Amino acid sequence: MSNNVTTKKHIFKGAFAALLATAIIAGAMTGCGKADSSGSGDTKETQVVTEVVTGIVVDKDGNPVTDANGNYIPATDAKSTDSDKKQDSGSEQKSKSESGSQKSDGGSQKSDGDSKKSDGGSQKSEASSSSGGSRTKTPSGALSAGTTKKSKADTSAKTLTIGGKSYKVGDKVVCTYFLEVPQTMLNYQGKIEFDSDMLKKTDAHLVEPANYGAMFNNTFDNRIVFNGSNLSGYDFSSPGYEFIVVEYEVLKTGTTEPAITFEVLSDIKDKAYADSSSGKLINGAKIMAVYS
């Protein structure tokens, strides 16, 4: 009894497979080479694949789909193709993700760069303090700066004598003033006067940290005026530091001496280091000059 059932099952499967194969072949003969209604003989495009039957790809009408050589397309190839597309899509997405990650890393690096830049600004701010640091100290051989302007033209002379040195007409003269104040100063105000017939001012500037909180006017032909106030204080303690630099051009021969005076020079305790009437420094404060 069981053997008969088994035999019938095999016969049924064989008959069904043969019938299905016949239907597939017949569909291939009639579905892929039909001429269109215009009679041009052009074949219609294969319709979109909707089913897979017995390992062969067919369209929605049950007709087998063939490749360019007229061969049936196994279902495994179609699945493989779909899988490949999905993998390619996944790889593309991964690539975009990695690209976005790199872009994000780039932004992070830029942020780090901005942070470093910000740190640099902080360092500059710290360097702006009035501590000595690497500032130029008063060198040996510096002369006490004059507080009274003096000048004498001499057309018979070949040079101009200033600060103990001689220069020819047209030469550049640089005078650097070094200030020494026993205590950290809070305020200063002063001026430099010179003979504009003998010297032509070409440049002048206060030196850090004296230029913090300062006002400076060198637009006059025969003088320079300056003042400053800094709540953090200015450190010009012994042996003193570079304070102001003035550059001149020699116009005539003879002798001359610019004058530098202070109306105000006081420390953070309001102690005065300048005689406001004479402009001379007092209480251990000094102003020295070096010509080059």
| CATH number, residue 277 | 2.60.40
Q: Are residues 174 and 236 in the same domain?
A: yes
Q: Are residues 178 and 282 in the same domain?
A: yes
ω into 239 cis (within 30 of 0): yes
Residue 50 half-sphere exposure toward CB, CA atoms < 13 A? 8
Which residue do the tokens 């809070």 mark?
186
278: which 2 tokens? Answer: 């004479």
Q: Is residue 38 part of a domain?
A: no
What is the pTM (predicted TM-score) of this model?
0.57
Q: β-pairing, 259-267 with 185-193?
A: antiparallel
Q: Write the single-letter amino acid at 18.
A: A
Q: Is residue 155 part of a domain?
A: yes
Q: Are residues 280 and 159 in the same domain?
A: yes
Closest CA to 266 of 188, 210, 197, 195: 188
Q: Is residue 16 part of a domain?
A: no
What is the mean pLDDT of the segment spanning 126-136? 56
Q: Write the single-letter amino acid at 141.
A: G
Q: Are residues 261 and 161 in the same domain?
A: yes
Model confidence at 75, pLDDT cuts 50, 70, 90, reads low
The answer to whether the beta carbons of residues 137 and 240 sit under 8 Å apart is yes
Rounded (5°) CA angle 120-123-124: 90
Residue 36 and residue 98: Cα distance in Å, rounded? 50
115: which 2 tokens? Answer: 């942070």
pLDDT of residue 71: 75
pLDDT of residue 267: 96
Q: Are residues 254 and 186 in the same domain?
A: yes
pLDDT of residue 133: 56
Residue 129 and residue 233: Cα distance in Å, rounded? 8
The answer to whether the beta carbons of residues 173 and 252 sit under 8 Å apart is no
Q: Are residues 79 and 151 in the same domain?
A: no
What is the mean pLDDT of the segment spanning 112-133? 42
Residue 167 and residue 292: Cα distance in Å, rounded? 10
What is the mean pLDDT of the segment spanning 9-38? 43
pLDDT of residue 63: 75
Going by C-beta distance under 8 Å and a sequence separation of 6 or more, which residues neighbour residue 175? 162, 163, 245, 246, 247, 248, 258, 289, 290, 291
245: which 2 tokens? Answer: 């630099």
Q: Which domain holds residue 182?
A: 143-291
What element of type H or E holds 5?
A: helix 2-31
Q: Is residue 84 part of a domain?
A: yes
ω into 209 cis (within 30 of 0): yes
What is the mean pLDDT of the segment spanning 265-277? 96
Higher confidence at residue 86 or residue 159? 159
pLDDT of residue 29: 44
> What's 141's DSSP letter?
T
Tell how far CA 196 is from the center of its chain.
45
pLDDT of residue 64: 74
Over the stretch 213-251, which tens digit does the pLDDT of each residue have?
Answer: 999 999 999 999 999 999 999 999 999 999 999 999 999
Higher confidence at residue 145 or residue 54? 145
Over the stretch 246-268, which tens digit does the pLDDT of each residue have?
Answer: 999 999 999 999 999 999 999 99
Q: Is residue 284 part of a domain?
A: yes
Total domains in the fold of the chain: 2
Q: Are residues 148 and 258 in the same domain?
A: yes
